[in-house]
Chains A and B, each alone.
Chain A
């Protein structure tokens, strides 16, 4: 590919991001603007921003790559990512918004009245965030390498620099605008080339490569085995329950004005995700036919980046390629900046006192550490490594949130025990699973651990909580009321001040 395409796309997206971030800077003046955009973001903006930060490298590049490798089974990934939002809507969105806490550790402390639970949660949230940023940086490295030929660290470094700049200068308010813009950029970047390619292949515009006669575009489902059933099941558990605990997703809900708005926002997000996920499938299916050598060389994730250029020649192909590369960069930037904002919120509140200056320092820490990790590790398949982060979140933060919101019996001891159990089991499974050979009988169980680590974490949380009923928070009734009772419209007077 012509390296100029990569440079142009990278510079345009970075410039647009910094410009919108700078525009946000003019409207963000208070500490509240910085952390929660003063809780005044409209559902449409907010939903676009959530879609923007949720659709990461795994969605933009990874799903198509996975379809190239494993065919029909890969379609469970986007279903799981979207259905995770459904679970979020059902069990978490409105109560969490009403809790009044800003981060998950804030929630843990308010619900359980325990500093220990807060610290354990903070550590886990920061771990989850860092390990979620790493695949984004791997994606950026891959994109820069395939499109310009520059070394890997340039792509990852560019993402870290742009993210730090926007977060440090504008905080949450400008990030909301940036991410809303990036959702629509990502959708355009996938949809427009896909539509052009489909038109070309159907023969309506000009000439180009045609689908070779007799090729089966759609491979039939693999024969059913115990292994594939377990893998699909475990993946769905990870994605359905993992979304609940993602720090960058939750922080977004605090920018809604109230619980009902949080629900409306989630409904719009589901629509936006649905529209987006139609397109990676098209790239995956066509990539199997036209770019099979990518999978053979171990770079299936580059399918989305190279397909428009490979199928549509000339200037049109170059423009469409630039668009796709720009969309990919928007994906890395938006997810990374969402994670950095939420991690900076946690780190600055727990370590640096919660000031705007602390937030800025924490943002840099939150972005630089995963950069180091990304440079020291090799990229796996993007969709797969993001799937593991979901498994980890589902085994640690999900039990805390679900039981904390819906069960009065949760105690701090139970929550901490459950989070540690889930974290250790899942972390160990992922680490050992990566060492195992392809023919080991334990491989599926360890590389896709959510199906047993999530129930284990719930079981330990419930058992320990039941064994320590004397540790229940004294304010649990008041807190439950706050979580579930709908907010009063502001014009209703307090009944106590009314005389009869």
Chain B
């Protein structure tokens, strides 16, 4: 049943109405950042997915780095010919453990910071979308 302006009010009744154009506007939708602040179900889902993606990222990069360490360790101990390679008189195992590991470490760190910042920016974009 609708009460459009065309329907006359029923017998004995008076229509009381204010023009809609003067009505105070109520926000139509709650913004996502408000959901997060209110810990509503939607906000909770967003935060959980952010945490999950950050944790997954950290674990993946850690696994990669650990694998690189393990390979270095295996090369040094299990591949006897590896010790015969020399650059400027320094045997390869010393070069690998003394110098070579560090650029790999720096690369992991840099990749992680880039990806983690990207995750956060995505989250921020999603939340600020109104």
- Interfacial residues, chain A to chain B (CB-CB below 8 A): 72, 75-76, 79, 82-83, 86-87, 89-91, 94, 217-218, 220-221, 224, 232, 236, 260, 263-264, 266-267, 270-271, 274, 277-278, 281, 285, 406, 477-478, 480-481, 484-486, 492, 495-496, 499-500
Sampled A-B contacts (14; CB under 8 Å)? A72-B94, A83-B69, A86-B108, A87-B62, A90-B112, A218-B91, A224-B77, A278-B98, A477-B39, A477-B47, A492-B128, A495-B31, A496-B34, A500-B26
Q: Which residue numbers of B lie inside 8 Å of A, CB to CB?
A: 25-28, 31, 33-34, 36-37, 39, 43-44, 47, 50-51, 54-55, 58, 61-62, 65, 69, 73, 76-78, 83, 89-91, 93-94, 97-99, 101-103, 105-106, 108-110, 112-113, 116-117, 120-121, 123-124, 128
Collect the chain A residues with CB atoms within 8 Å of residue B109's CB.
86, 89, 266-267, 270
Say what secondary structure dominates the interface of chain B.
helix
* Smallest Cβ-Cβ distance to B54: which chain A residue: A484
Whether A263 touches B117, Cβ cut-off 8 Å, given contacts A91-B58, A499-B25, is yes
Set A224, A236, A406, A477: member contacting B44, Cβ < 8 A? A477
- The complex places the Cα of A478 from the Cα of B39 at a distance, in Å, of 7
Contact between A270 and B106, CB atoms less than 8 A apart: yes
**Chain B residues with CB below 8 A from A79, complex form:** 69, 97, 101, 105
**Contact A220-B91, Cβ < 8 Å, known A86-B109, A264-B113, A484-B50:** yes
Give A401 Cβ to nearest chain B Cβ, in Å. Answer: 13
A477 to B93, CA, bound (A): 48
* Chain A residue with the shortest CB-CB distance to B55: A406
By beta carbon, the residue of chain B nearest A483 is B51
- Known contacts A79-B69, A90-B62, A274-B106; 19 further A-B pairs (Cβ under 8 A): A76-B97, A87-B62, A89-B109, A89-B113, A90-B61, A218-B94, A221-B77, A221-B83, A263-B116, A264-B113, A274-B102, A278-B98, A481-B43, A481-B47, A486-B121, A486-B123, A492-B128, A495-B33, A499-B27
With contact pairs A91-B58, A221-B76, A486-B120 given, residues A86 and B39 touching in the complex (Cβ less than 8 Å)? no
Query: 4 closest Cβ contacts across the A-B interface?
Result: A500-B27, A75-B97, A90-B58, A486-B120
Instruction: Tell whether, in the assembled complex, residue B36 and residue A485 are in contact, meaning their CB atoms are under 8 Å apart.
Output: yes
Give Cα distance in the complex from A236 to B73, angstroms. Answer: 12
Task: Return chain B residues, CB-CB under 8 Å to A217.
Answer: 89
Contact check, A485 vs B123: say whether CB atoms are below 8 A apart. Answer: yes
Q: Is the CB of B25 within 8 A of A236?
A: no
Q: What's the Cα separation between A71 and B101 when bound, in Å?
A: 17
Q: How far is the CA of A86 from the CA of B28 in the complex (A)?
A: 46
Nearest Cβ distance between residue B30 and chain A, in whole angstroms? 9
A495 touches B34 (CB 8 A): yes
Interface centre among A75, A91, A270, A484 (most CB of B within 10 A): A484
Name the CB-closest residue of A to B99: A278
Distance from A196 Cβ to chain B, minimum over Cβ atoms (Å): 18
Task: Assess whether B116 is in contact with A94, with CB atoms less than 8 Å apart.
Answer: yes
Q: Using Cβ atoms and an 8 Å threshold, which residues of chain A touch B47? A: 477, 480-481, 484-485
Q: How far is the CA of A63 from the CA of B36 in the complex (A)?
A: 49
Quick one: given A79-B101, A274-B102, are A480 and B51 in contact (CB under 8 Å)?
yes
Which of B27, B65, B83, B116 neighbours the largest number of chain A CB atoms within 10 Å of its CB? Answer: B116
